[in-house]
A = this chain, B = another copy of it.
């Protein structure tokens, strides 16, 4: 087993964990297979050695203390459904996966303020069900797939499709187990008397420090809910030509910055919808790139555009009507051939069975239908996302596409973009679908990632999130002032987790004992005097 861990220390730690949590809390051998990377079953470098499933905060604290005492790396996973990023699999092979699936209580729904407090095992599906059972007065932001963890998605900077779709930006407070087993609460929860109403508390807001990081294990998190609107109006914008992407992005930037569209618009090519219907070979059995006439045929068959944008407006009927008028005005001004349609749905009478997946998800209703698209290249579908962020302008998005497309196609993949407009920025998801039973297809997807990220970064487009295999490369890209950010993060890591046990390597943050010999600047650089270049903008 490829591991940074002493086998004897591992065995001793697992014995102590069994003793503290009960024998059923530890899974090994076959029982632990579920926690490997679901889309790469071949990569032993990222196999966990065992899986621990605590059920309480105190059990998480016990696990952390044992791991710290024994020097055993642990890797936290909430639900582990972030499949394109590695699922529950650790960066460091042989790590003990701490799966929080069994800590799945919804601790509080504040019906007056619209705030939910959840444990890390709570799935979006479960939160949606709870809100429905309470009368449906509040909706939650959610990604497409509902089986994932609310906490896990938020901590990994995941996106949904409503006003709070930038999940990480809307966390007023959290609770975290630190590497010494102690507990910290952030925001207003740092006071023993107050509720998580305000976006932060007193002093530096520590909440973001525990997102996309390995400084602690989050055990509770608060997040705002959206009130059920009088009218929910899902909008669909269809444009016929491949060249229409840029102007569509520009229109969405204008409409979201001015507030007419309050949620996060998502623009996809016809491939996404085509993949929901049937696999690639039934559309086109030739090599990449799919010819333009096949694209046009898909558009015709599916009665959609080459590019299709989902967005939404929520509110009183008259506000919604006026907002839709403005959406039409802005879109049609630059895209006269666009088809702009909207449904006007009373918030309290929505028949979700009659809505499309995209219409549902913008109303806080996830599903699993998007899993179908992974079967584009075979029933054993896997996928990897190339996900740079950049300015939300048509020119930038076209440049990202121009860089990414040839790299993707050179490795035999279809160019499959899905663009999220987050006011001033886009998150550009380049989806690579592969047959996960085919090692050479998996390897090709990894080659795309290794080529694309540096090329995109050279042009100003940097990663937003990372598959376990590319964390170092991505952290390398954030290079300003001799990697000042990484050097700072390493100082925090060494202070907060001196034994270096919490998710080593996550986001390219390594504890001191594992830094030497890694990619990036040599360890010697870390103690060298910092070149203080003033690089004024």
> Residues of A at under 8 Å CB distance from B?
56-58, 61, 107-108, 112-115, 117, 157, 163, 166, 168-169, 172, 178, 180-186, 188-195, 197-213, 215, 220, 224, 227, 229, 253-254, 257-260, 262, 314-316, 318-319, 321-323, 325-326, 329, 389-393, 422-425, 427, 457-466, 474-475, 477-481, 484-485, 488-489, 491-492, 494-496, 507-509, 530, 532-534, 536-537
Contacts and interface: CB of A to CB of B under 8 A. Distances in A.
Contact of A322 (B203, B319, B461, B477): B319
A20 to B, nearest CB: 13
A462 B191 contact: yes
B259 A163 contact: yes
Given A202-B477, A206-B485, 18 more contacts: A61-B532, A108-B537, A178-B488, A184-B488, A185-B481, A191-B479, A191-B480, A197-B391, A197-B424, A202-B466, A202-B508, A203-B475, A204-B212, A205-B209, A206-B209, A208-B208, A208-B209, A492-B492
A205 to B, nearest CB: 4
B115 A481 contact: no
Contact of A157 (B107, B200, B536): B200
A202 B463 contact: yes
Contacts of A329: 316
B425 A197 contact: yes
B197 A115 contact: no
Nearest to A163: B259
B169 A199 contact: yes
A462 B117 contact: no
Contacts of A530: 180-183
A321 B322 CA distance: 9
A240 B410 CA distance: 72
Nearest to A506: B203
A534 B257 contact: no
Nearest to A157: B200
Contacts of A536: 57, 107
B495 A462 contact: no
Nearest to A391: B197
A195 to B, nearest CB: 6
A119 to B, nearest CB: 9
Contacts of A485: 184-186, 190, 201, 203, 206
B257 A189 contact: no
A205 B204 CA distance: 12
Contact of A212 (B193, B203, B479, B489): B203
Nearest to A465: B202
Work out how many copies of this chain go into the complex: 2
Contact of A389 (B113, B198, B258, B477): B198
A192 B488 CA distance: 16
Contacts of A460: 191, 193-195
26 contacts: A58-B532, A58-B534, A115-B424, A157-B200, A163-B259, A182-B530, A183-B533, A184-B481, A185-B484, A186-B485, A189-B480, A191-B479, A197-B389, A198-B389, A201-B462, A202-B474, A202-B475, A202-B478, A204-B208, A205-B208, A259-B259, A260-B316, A316-B322, A318-B322, A318-B325, A319-B323
Contact of A489 (B204, B213, B494): B204
A535 to B, nearest CB: 8
Q: Which of the listed residues A108, A112, A181, A215 has the most CB atoms from chain B within 10 Å of its own CB? A: A112
Nearest to A323: B319
Given A206-B485, A478-B190, A314 B259 contact: yes
A192 B480 CA distance: 5
Given A202-B464, A485-B184, A495-B495, A537 B479 contact: no
Q: Which of the listed residues A181, A182, A424, A494 has the most CB atoms from chain B within 10 Å of its own CB? A: A424
Given A107-B536, A185-B484, A322-B319, A425 B198 contact: yes
B481 A491 contact: no
Contacts of A178: 488
Contacts of A461: 194
Q: Which of the listed residues A459, A481, A507 has the most CB atoms from chain B within 10 Å of its own CB? A: A481
Nearest to A461: B194
Contacts of A321: 318, 322
B462 A227 contact: no
Contacts of A458: 193
Contacts of A189: 480
B202 A107 contact: no
A346 to B, nearest CB: 15
A312 to B, nearest CB: 12
Given A57-B536, A163-B259, A318-B325, A481 B203 contact: no
A397 to B, nearest CB: 12
Contacts of A186: 485
